[in-house]
Chains A and B, each alone.
Chain A
Amino acid sequence: MRASSTLIATLSDLRRAAARGRKTLLPKQPKILVGMATCGLATGAEEVFAALREEVERLALPYTVAATGCIGWCCQEPLVDVQWPGKPRVTYGRMDARKARELVRGLDKGELKAEWAIGLLSAYDNPLTGARTRLARKTAGVDGVPRYQDVPLFRHQVRWAMRNSGIIDPRSLDEYIARGGYFAARQTLAAMQPAEVIEQVTLSGLRGRGGAGFPTGKKWEVMRRQAATPKYIICNGDEGDPGAYMNRTLLESDPHAVLEGMIIGAYAMGAAEGILYIREEYPLAVTRMREAIAQAEAAGLLGDNIFGSGFNCHLRVVEGAGAFVCGEETALIASVEGRVGEPRQRPPFPAQRGLWGKPTCINNVETWADVPLIVMRGGDWYAQLGTPSSKGTKTFCLVGAVKNSALVEVPIGITLRRVVEEIGGGVPDGRKFKAIQTGGPSGGCIPESLLDLEVDYESLTRAGAIMGSGGMIVMDDSNCMVDIAKYFLGFLQDESCGKCFSCREGLQRMHEIVARISEGNGREEDLELLEDLAWMVRETSLCGLGQTAPNPVLTTLRYFRDEYLAHVREKRCPAKVCKQLITYRIEPTLCDGCDACVHVCSSEAILGEKKHAHSIDNAKCIKCGACVEVCVPKAVVVE
């Protein structure tokens, strides 16, 4: 860890740290960056990093090999970027140790390995300072390698919250400062009144990025007015929505941005203590945040008398224990206090009575990371993007049936169609788009007919979904909507805390009904019964979990009723997903008798000799689909 041991107490200290950071950020020698957030590590970034370093040492080259966070091209991990002074930065996708060594040997001979390159970056912006870092002349290019500004995945993105991801080493405080970090905190403490900070946040139109969309400035104002002390601030990093990883990536890639936002918020609201609640399923995010807190404390950016202002702020990490409901703010508070994560009635709101009964402000990771920008550039500047009711940018995880699975940040108000078709590159493998699921288990499935919807808090709610924290799962015609509804109900009945009868029992009954439909045992009146139950659960549950739990069922019933009816009337699963309604068969004219399926079949259900067409014994078949995966001539058909 390159911890900065020097104290940072004045503007000139900050400038000195920035100068140190610039030296490692943009060294005069070539620099090789490896994306080492969890996605990168899961695909072998560690081996790639070690191979790069070994080869550079073996050849005694003057290159630096550095780790960075999420570069943003998730489906191409592991990613390696080469930054050669005066040349555009080149991104290489799907690297491995062998390619990494070859890359270094090639660089030594002046070869670029254009065949592995997926993008060229000649400049990047810093929204915090308004400055542009120019790496090379605009015209500089390499044949056959697209420039970032021409890649649809990046063309529509505006990286504000993710301003440093993939650029800085998340473990380097100096590099964060070199990108303009902690200047907003210093300006706040040195020259702004708490009310002025809140005025800017209100002006910016920033709304809670955790999904509910409560105006941040309003929440902060309520907090500021509370007379009770001490006050607490909390960063909600309990990103439990399945299909979402924006917060994890931000915590892993730019931890100081979150800390700086919290310092500014604490000052504005009169709090001196705060907690980062991060789920234990994110071990790297926990480690990065703890390292960042230790660095900031060592530099005097956290602790007592920050920037000599007399203002104190202490932050620490609390690990979640694996409960989805703890994303709800009163449940989160109960969990921090050492109790089970059961939500309670509001009001009183946490801003009035929160942690230990004291005023507490809970904001999402992304909300906190947006704060330094607003202070630095002003609320007006932040509000330039967005729709009349929702301002700024939002990060989304675009995954599922899209060509480019990626973590993207876009201006609020962009259409879903642009997100799916241009940024995501559309549905791959010649399949047909069916739905996009937003907002996780509290959200809904939006059909093709509504793809021109502008993404903001209100329009998604009107469509029966919610903005949520930012998960977007694209589904194609191989996904069954009844199965998706069953999936979310299964998730929610497991994660319901059990406090409200309607949520605890209602979700179980709904799950039973949808399961029955998926097995071909449903009745037509089940659909109405589901809608009745959904209404009951929504209207009579205490917290957001129960109130929004019926959304996945209601939206699939609303937009894909014909799929439910096919299961009920024809005992047929149109997407061929629901196990009880499908059978596997080998098409003899396509089967070349290669035996691959025989080897993977764990229930010995495949009959026939090698080099002769095979067949499936349906009595033995457990419908695991392993044969489909390995069949090269695609002779296994699902009916």
Chain B
Amino acid sequence: MPAQSEDELLSQGLKMSDAIPVEQILESWPGSAQNLIPALQKIQSEHHYLSEPALRAVSRYFHLPLPQVFHVATFYNCFSLEPRGRHEVRVCLGTACHVRGGQRILDKALRELGLSESGTTSDYEFSVEPVRCLGCCALAPVVRVDQRTYGHLQQSRVPRLLKPYRSRAEVAA
């Protein structure tokens, strides 16, 4: 992904105007270490990634060394240090999905959005990532887009599945 400054990202409207500022998120938690992960999760879900300034603010707020915050932020799968797209496409690669062609669904979704590997589209509309089991194994293969789960997929259904999110994104733009 090309390196971009915060300003450039802002100008692309990535940081949605209704996102709660990092400082405000932090104020809702007491500053003890047990709240570090919940606070990072909230920032991730509001801002779609953990920026360097955000990590620094978290470090100051919790009185934890920056490397320790960085360690946590890079250990868990739900965090991303790079901006994720407005819509998160999570393709399940649990065992049941794997044996029913989950990898092919992932490859198809990537091709459909012009990505060569898991990651985010250049317009920051979509992120496509594999996920190890969404727990809907009887419906394999399964994809989750944002909060909505789709089951019994075939490659040919992937374009139709992504379409409504595309048009919504275009309308918003």
Contact = CB atoms under 8 A, between A and B. Distances in A.
Contacts of B131: 281
Interface string B91-114: 001111111110010011001000
Interface in A468-488: 471, 473, 475, 479, 484, 487-488
Interface in A26-60: 38-39, 41-43
B3 to A, nearest CB: 25
Contacts of B142: 42
A626 B108 contact: yes
Contacts of A440: 95
Contact of A473 (B37, B93, B96, B111): B96
A630 B75 CA distance: 41
A405 B78 contact: no
A339 B72 contact: yes
B41 A319 contact: yes
Contacts of B149: 38, 41-42
A625 interface: yes
Contacts of B151: 39, 42-43, 77
A321 interface: yes
Contacts of A602: 108, 111
A323 B76 contact: yes
Q: Size class of A's contact patch? A: 35 or more
A182 interface: no
Nearest to A275: B34
Contact of B96 (A283, A319, A400): A400
Contacts of A42: 136, 139, 142, 149-151
A633 B130 CA distance: 32
Contacts of A600: 155-156
Interface string A300-339: 0000000000000000001101111000000000011111
A581 B161 CA distance: 31
Contact of B155 (A321, A437, A488, A625): A625
B135 interface: yes
A625 B101 contact: yes
A414 interface: no
B166 interface: no
Interface string A607-639: 000000000000000001110011000000000
B76 A321 contact: yes
Interface string A423-451: 00000000000000100100000000000
A280 B132 CA distance: 12
B128 interface: no
Contacts of A243: 94-96, 133, 137
Interface in B132-166: 132-140, 142, 147, 149-152, 154-156
Nearest to B158: A626
Given A241-B133, A243-B133, A440-B95, A625 B104 contact: yes
B28 to A, nearest CB: 15
A531 interface: no
A242 B133 contact: yes
Contacts of B96: 242-243, 399-400, 473
Interface string B18-54: 0000000000000011111110110000000000000
A323 B155 CA distance: 28
A406 interface: yes
Contact of B136 (A38, A335, A336, A341): A38
Given A243-B137, A625-B104, A321 B78 contact: yes
Contact of A405 (B33, B94, B138): B138
A116 to B, nearest CB: 18
SS of A interface (majority): mixed
A248 interface: yes
B156 A626 contact: yes
B34 A337 contact: yes
A335 B72 CA distance: 9
B126 interface: no
B11 interface: no
B41 A340 contact: no
A244 B41 contact: no
A437 B95 contact: yes
A74 interface: yes
A243 to B, nearest CB: 4
A565 interface: no
A381 interface: no
B92 to A, nearest CB: 8
> Chain A CB within 10 Å — which of B93, B95, B101, B150 has the most?
B95
Contacts of B167: none
Contacts of A338: 32-37, 72
Contacts of A74: 138-139
Contacts of B38: 318-319
A41 B71 CA distance: 36
A471 B140 CA distance: 14
Contacts of A479: 99
A495 interface: yes
Interface in B66-100: 71-72, 75-79, 93-100
B131 to A, nearest CB: 7
Contacts of B138: 39, 74-75, 77, 397, 399, 405-407
A319 B42 CA distance: 11
Interface in A190-249: 239-245, 248
A267 interface: no
A282 B78 CA distance: 13
> Chain B CB within 10 Å — which of A341, A473, A475, A488 has the most?
A473
A471 B95 contact: yes
B43 to A, nearest CB: 12
Interface string A395-409: 001011100011100
A239 B136 CA distance: 12
A491 interface: yes
A39 B132 contact: no
A248 B135 contact: yes
Interface in A366-420: 397, 399-401, 405-407
B99 A473 contact: yes
B40 to A, nearest CB: 8
Interface in A329-373: 335-341
A624 B135 contact: no
Contact of A245 (B40, B78, B137): B137
B93 to A, nearest CB: 7
Contacts of B94: 242-243
B34 A245 contact: no
Nearest first, the 5 closest Cβ-Cβ pairs linking A and B are A74-B138, A322-B77, A242-B94, A245-B135, A243-B95
14 contacts: A42-B151, A77-B138, A242-B96, A245-B136, A338-B34, A400-B140, A473-B137, A484-B99, A491-B132, A602-B111, A624-B155, A625-B104, A626-B104, A630-B156
Given A39-B139, A399-B96, A400-B99, 14 more contacts: A38-B136, A42-B139, A42-B150, A242-B94, A242-B95, A280-B78, A339-B33, A405-B138, A407-B138, A488-B95, A600-B155, A602-B111, A624-B107, A625-B101
